[in-house]
Amino acid sequence: MTISTGCTYMKNILLSFVLCMMLLVLVACGGGGSSPTTTITPTPSTAKTTATLTINLTGTLPASTAIAGADFTLTLPANVTPATTGGIVATSVVTNSGTFASSTLVPQVTYTGTPGTLRVILSSSAAGGVTQVGNVATITLQLANSAEPTTGSFSLSAVSVTEAVLYNQIVGMGASVASVTLQ
Domain at 50-182, CATH class = mainly beta
List the pLDDT tens digit at each of the 183 positions of the chain: 455 555 565 566 655 655 555 555 555 555 555 555 666 666 566 889 999 999 999 999 999 999 999 999 999 999 999 999 888 999 999 999 999 999 999 999 999 987 799 999 999 999 999 999 999 999 999 999 999 999 999 999 999 999 999 999 999 999 999 999 999
Question: Which three-class secondary structure string do you get for the chain?
Answer: CCHHHHHHHHHHHHHHHHHHHHHHHHHHHCCCCCCCCCCCCCCCCCCCCEEEEEEEEECCCCCCCCEEEEEEEEECCCCEECCEECCEECCCCEEECHHHCCCCCCCEEEEECCCCEEEEEEECCCCCCECCCEEEEEEEEEECCCCCCCHHHCEEEEEEEEECCCCCECCCCEEEEEEEEEC
The residue extents of the domains of the chain are 50-182
